[in-house]
Amino acid sequence: MLKINPRMLMQQCLRHAHSQVRVRFAPSPTGYLHLGGLRTALYNFLYARHLGGKFLLRIEDTDQTRLVPGASERLVEDLLWAGIEIDEGPGFGGQLGPYVQSQRTEIYSKAIEELLHNGTAYRCFCTERRLDLLRKEALRTRQVPRYDNKCRHLTTSEVDSLLAKGTPYCIRFKLTDHEEPLDDLIYGKVHHNVSDNEGDPVVMKSDQFPTYHFANVVDDHLMGITHVLRGVEWQISTTKHLLLYKAFGWQPPKFGHLPLLVNADGTKLSKRQGDIGIQHFRERGYFPQALVNYVVSAGGGFEHRTNAKQQLLSMQALHEQFHIERVNSHPSRLNPELLDDLNRLEIVQRLSGNESRTKLVNEVQQLVKEAYPQHSNLDLAEEHILDVLNWSSKRLTLLQDLTSSKLSFLWVKPSDFQIKDLTAEQLAHLLQLINAIQDFHKDELNVKLKSFAQKENIKFPLMMKTLRAALSGLKEGPGVAEMMEILGKSVTLERLKEALPKESLHLEEDQ
């Protein structure tokens, strides 16, 4: 009988000792995190937190040919940005590591020996040329390509002879009928007999690296995973995994498969779209909690709210309200307009807290400096930024929108402009009028300015052109009254005073 590594035996004992829920997110570092991956990680995290369990991160890098440098580090960064806390994983500690599959090859080799010993796996010496011929013949006869299990029937002496010659081989697992249906946490009972459609699968490649299916099962068991929540595309493989658990004599975890995440028109999300990567949303300026609420809005898992008013829930509120049985079993449609609404809600929410408000102001200051590096005369006072944010919270979606060229007047102060089309006395009266206006709204401002122009016998278009230049230095943009509303009374008065001729400024001060 095979002697199991004491460390593996300890891990197996630890698994059975776990009374708490343990889930994992196990991505491959072959690309960057996208909405589908975030949804999987998020639902695992919410489920674990709801039941007081642990969330593990495992990096599945057995396919060494497709690794993207830096992908693992970026993935961790994106998860943490989204508010997903990692309890165990690479760089986060934990007793059941390593949590990177390429560092677990010895564990997989010993597990393979166990299957070879109990007769549920065998060495396959078939060449790539023979396998390619099998595929071509299946396609020619319009059948699904599958391995014909030839090497399963080799005698012990035939295997020994091939090994003695140094013939390359992989390890295959013997598929058997699986009559018991999978009791899926989301879909209910699902039946799929994998041996009807597939030949014996490879579990260890000739390069001594395990395949996804084998390493996945071994790691989930040894890391004490109690519940596996993953995309529905893996549901068809779960029967294969259950057979592996049976071959080892291990108790399998419970499985739940999350429905497809699809576009608003029902088409499947694709990494090739380029706009579903988490980095894309971050670079555009979406906030983490807005994106998290956006993802869960499509998949269910929460009580249906009859209140039509959109809410932005904290991560704590989400995991407190999460119930796996309420997750949808039909494809989850994303509505991009909802994300914009949620991002505006997060701006409003951040404005209501002292610490978050300060961070928001600092972020705007940094964005403006980056947008206008050639300008030294920028209006970045905290009070002004807060006024702009309060005005924009129901109008704009992203903080970056505040740096668009048509809103440059918010930040770039006009320089070297003096009002010359109004007399000193008219300018003094205008400043007094603006200062006295209580309802500093564009409609009220338009009425007052028109009335002033008539009273002072000033051509209204000329006066507005002058005011636009004094306030923004621009020849076009929003209406002057709207510009004044956005800037607010204090900034409007400040900029007009800066554009006054010296003699007008003295007159205004004397009155």
Q: Are 48 and 54 in contact (CB under 8 A)?
A: yes
Please name which of 388, 317, 314 lies closest in space to residue 351, comparing C-alpha atoms: 388
CA distances from 196 to 12, 146, 200 (A): 32, 10, 11
Tokens for 372, please give them: 């206008």
Give the total residue count for the chain: 511
Q: Are 258 and 229 in contact (CB under 8 A)?
A: yes
Q: Could you confirm whether 271 is annotated as catalytic? A: yes
Q: Are 452 and 491 in contact (CB under 8 A)?
A: no
Q: Are 53 and 20 in contact (CB under 8 A)?
A: yes
Coil, strand or helix at 4: coil
- E strand map for 287-349: 332-333
Tokens for 208, please give them: 């001594």
Q: What is the distance between the alpha carbons of residues 121 and 92, in angstroms, rounded to a whole number?
A: 35
Please name which of 47, 37, 30 lies closest in space to residue 225, comparing C-alpha atoms: 47
DSSP state of 287: -
Catalytic residue (choose from 110, 174, 271, 489): 271
Strands 332-333 and 261-262: parallel
Angle, alpha carbons 138-139-143 (nearest 5°): 55
Q: What is the distance between the alpha carbons of residues 62 and 105, in angstroms, rounded to a whole number?
A: 9
Active site residues: 271
